Structure 1
Amino acid sequence: MDGLQRWRILRLHVEDGIPLTALATDTGIGLRTLSRWHARYRDGGIAALGNLPRADTGTRRMAPELVAFVEHLALTRPRPSIATLHRLTRGEAARLEVKAPSYATVRAVVRSLDPAMVTLALEGPAAYRDRH
């Protein structure tokens, strides 16, 4: 839902005086959500009702020790599958007593490795020299 759609709903409260509780019942949108929209509208007008980017965009909540563990294993020869990496990482997370990452997170760590570094680690200096 974009800011304009939010304004069309919130306008009923702001301009027509319909209570937020009645608006929540009629629209099926939670009262707390409507209250947040109203606070954002009061602070910044209609423009403030647009979608806000997440504060944690681009960050990983995976423990740094586990990131290093996955990167190390992903650069070993022969390269293990993502499923194997995930299984080993879950065991390491249990050993470190931290939350285990999801399969998608392990895959994202592996995919974020520098291709030149992967070439050097898995195929050797001759392949690295030829490609990079």
Structure 2
Amino acid sequence: MKNKEKYLTNFSEAKRKEATQKYNIIKPFILGNQSLSSISKNKDIALSTLYRWNKLYKEEGLTGLIHNTRVDKGDHKLEQNIIDEIKRLSLKNKRNSIATIHRKIVNYCIENNFDKPSYKQVYSIIKAMPKSVIDFSHQGEKYYQNKYDLIQIRESSRPNEIWQADHTLLDIYILDQTGNINRPWLTIIMDDYSRAIAGYFISFEAPNAQNTALTLHQAIWNKNNTNWPVCGIPEKFYTDHGSDFTSHHMEQVAIDLKINLMFSKVGVPRGRGKIERFFSDS
């Protein structure tokens, strides 16, 4: 059973990112797309380590992966801008080998007076990056859509199988908390099967991760209103590539709750047509 005292908010962002990297490594196995043996060979990670990660994730969610292990040891000691630069170089040019990236990072650290990462640290960071992100950068948008977006288009067959979320700027003007006339934003989460609204949030702030998390929190929990029975944890959560939904926080929440977070290109419904029709009809 999950340790009730272990919440994501109890850990630093670096620790949460480290756990997310581990999840992304075993994600193909969790989704049934790849064996742990294959992942072990491709990622050069001990099979016993992958079995342990999978067991911890099943039992405790994302927080179960917040442990120091040999393969990730030392990663959290790197400055975040160094980690970001390693990822940037990896995504920028598919011809960049890990050895090339390591040499460039060493020069970058010397120029900026940072501690130099080891080859193993650079290797671990690159290998932990989601393959979908790498494919998008190296192969292009069309390749990404064909491989990752199109295969996910389907109708739901039961409640809470697919939830969809989006924002819209309401066509009304009201006084905000400062006394100014303003237009509020509406965020909704819809159950794809029943078309029922699982959660909503109204705010004068532009869409952001915090408001989205509050909407998801409301959608999941039981409502006080008996006429509003929609609740639970969805298997898949569809949304666009907006900056709030692609934030680390939303990704970590989805992983911890074992929700498969699905993205579609802005302006291209790809399975999200129902929620866009809801906005147009409202």
TM-score between both structures, scaled by the size of structure 1? 0.54
Aligned CA RMSD, in angstroms, stands at: 1.8
**How many residues were matched structurally?**
78
In structure 2, the partner of 1:119 is: 135
The percent identity for this pair of structures is 19
One-letter amino acid of the structure 2 residue matched with residue 87 of structure 1? R
Q: Using the TM superposition, give the Cα deviation of residue 56 of structure 1 relative to its aligned residue in structure 2, in angstroms.
A: 6.8
In structure 1, the partner of 2:120 is: 104
Pairing partner for 1:71 from 87, 94, 103: 87
Q: Using the TM superposition, give the Cα deviation of residue 91 of structure 1 relative to its aligned residue in structure 2, in angstroms.
A: 0.5
Q: Give CA-to-partner distance per residue, 1:40-62, whole Å, 9 cap, x none.
A: xxxxxxxxxxxxxxx97165211
Q: What aligned pairs does 1:1-132 form with structure 2 within 5 A after superposition?
A: 57=68, 60-132=76-148
Q: Mind listing any 5+ residue stretches in structure 2 that lack a counterpart?
A: 1-65, 149-282
For 2:137 and 2:144, how far apart are their aligned partners in 1?
A: 9
One-letter amino acid of the structure 1 residue matched with residue 125 of structure 2? V
User: Greater strand percent: which structure?
Assistant: 2
Question: Whose RCO is larger (CA < 8 A, sep 6+)?
Answer: 1
For 2:140 and 2:67, how far apart are their aligned partners in 1?
A: 37
Q: Give CA-to-partner distance per residue, 1:71-102, whole Å, 9 cap, x none.
A: 00000124300000000000011112111000
TM-score between both structures, scaled by the size of structure 2? 0.26
- SS of the residue 2:114 aligns to: coil
Q: Mind listing any 5+ residue stretches in structure 1 that lack a counterpart?
A: 1-54
Q: Give CA-to-partner distance per residue, 1:18-47, whole Å, 9 cap, x none.
A: xxxxxxxxxxxxxxxxxxxxxxxxxxxxxx
Q: 57-66 or 82-91, which moves further after superposition?
A: 57-66
Q: Give CA-to-partner distance per residue, 1:94-127, whole Å, 9 cap, x none.
A: 1121110000100111111111111100000111
For 1:99 and 1:106, how far apart are their aligned partners in 2?
A: 13
One-letter amino acid of the structure 2 residue matched with residue 125 of structure 1? E
